[in-house]
Amino acid sequence: MSLTRRQFSARAAMTAAIVPSAGDASAQQASGNGPPGATRPAAAEHDMSAMPAHWMGSEQIAFLIYPQFTALDMVGPHHMLASLMGSTVHLAAATREPVRSDNGLVFVPSATFEECPRDLDILCVPGGSLGTLAAMQDEATIRFLKDRGSRARYVTSVCTGSLVLGAAGLLDGYRATSHWATRSLLPIFGATPVDARVVEDRNRITGGGVTAGIDFGLTLVGRLRDRPYAEAVQLLAEYDPQPPYAAGTPGQAPGEVKALIDGMFASFIEQAGDVGRTTFAKLGR
């Protein structure tokens, strides 16, 4: 089977996590301690026979991207989920035209809504602010999410992407989370808000604000493979967050800092609430 560079690197890393690196005959020969005249294996070789069969999958994964979405909402979990050996990741958008994120990063879609596989293992929606409001009201976007989400193995979101899922009627009756500033809006869509970084309810998995997408992605890697695989992905990414400030949650942040963010979000929350009630009403809920 032909492997891309990314898949080969991932396979080597995954195999290294469980294949003994010392003490066997090959390791002794490579170190010069084997029988005289023994052939040393190439340093980069790994014994792939020890890799569990379930570490190779065939998942079809699609991230919705839309103008002014928050890039890290998508890039964080994308890094983790793209480490699933055998998976195919699609960046789905209304057209193939480049999509600019809210901070100016430009992404090229790999599939239009029509080209995206109909049966997905993972459908993921990133969040944003003004772009998210527009996505919640875009008929083509909502139609795409309702269709793919009706069959996807996992329907997921990061940050305010949960509001877009909600507008498509995909969180009705589910426990979910969102960015802390917008979590209180989830009941509008029939969802039960949960104060957690990652929330799982049956096949709905939602992540909190922005960086929580990394935790969400790693959590799903563990579900689809196993703990050693996920731990190897975490180690490969050197994911060991040690932020320079203790202000990452409303409970930790100084009062004046939280007040500043509350003020910044006030208009968005009001608009998102209005849009949510209108779009959810259209679904007959």
Q: What is the pLDDT of residues 180-189, one digit of tens each?
A: 999 999 999 9
User: Does residue 192 form part of some domain?
Assistant: yes
**Confidence class of residue 15 from pLDDT cuts 50, 70 and 90?**
low
Q: Is the pLDDT of residue 234 over 60?
A: yes
Q: What is the mean pLDDT of residues 258-275?
A: 97
pLDDT the model gives residue 26 = 35
pLDDT greater at residue 246 or residue 45? 246
CA distance 220 to 230: 9
242 — alpha (psi -120 to 50), left (phi > 0) or beta?
A: beta
Query: Is residue 267 scored above 90 in pLDDT?
Result: yes
In this structure, are strands 192-193 and 204-207 parallel, antiparallel, or unpaired? Answer: unpaired
219 within domain boundaries: yes
The answer to whether residue 37 is domain-embedded is no
pLDDT above 60 (res 80):
yes
Task: Let me know if residue 158 belongs to a domain.
Answer: yes
Give the least confident one: 22-26, 76-80, 133-137: 22-26
Confidence at residue 13, expressed as pLDDT on a 0 to 100 scale: 53
Q: In the annotation, is 159 catalytic?
A: yes
The confidence score (pLDDT) of residue 28 equals 37
pLDDT tens for 106-132 read 999 999 999 999 999 999 999 999 999
Predicted confidence band of residue 281 (pLDDT cuts 50, 70, 90): confident
Q: What are phi and psi of 282, to 5 degrees?
A: -65, -25
This prediction's pTM: 0.85
Q: How confident is the model at residue 150, as a pLDDT?
A: 98
User: 9 falls in which pLDDT band (50, 70, 90)?
Assistant: low
With a cut of 90, say whether residue 34 has pLDDT above it.
no
- The mean pLDDT value for 37-57 works out to 66
Distance CA 156, CA 170 (A): 10
Domain carrying residue 185: 65-238+259-282
Q: Mind listing the pLDDT tens digit for each residue in 153-172?
A: 999 999 999 999 999 999 99
User: What is the pLDDT at residue 284?
Assistant: 79
CA distance 223 to 156: 14
Mean pLDDT of all residues belonging to the chain: 88
Question: Would you say residue 48 has pLDDT above 70?
Answer: no
Average pLDDT over residues 134-160: 98
| Segment among 8-22, 90-104, 164-178 with least mean pLDDT | 8-22
Handedness of CA 79, 101, 144, 268 (dihedral sign): positive
Structure-block tokens of residue 164: 């877009």
- The length of the chain, given as a count of residues: 285
pLDDT reading at 43 higher than 70: no
CATH number at residue 128: 3.40.50.880
Instruction: Please check whether residue 5 lies inside any domain of the structure.
Output: no
Q: Compute the distance between CA of residue 56 and CA of residue 52 in angstroms, rounded to an integer.
A: 8
33 inside domain: no
Q: What is the pLDDT of residue 45?
A: 56
Q: Higher confidence at residue 244 or residue 5?
A: 244
Residue 42 in domain: no
Chain-centroid distance of CA 197 in Å reads 13
Residue type, 197: R
| Domains in the chain, number | 1
In a domain, 210, yes or no: yes
Active-site annotation holder among 94, 99, 125, 159: 159
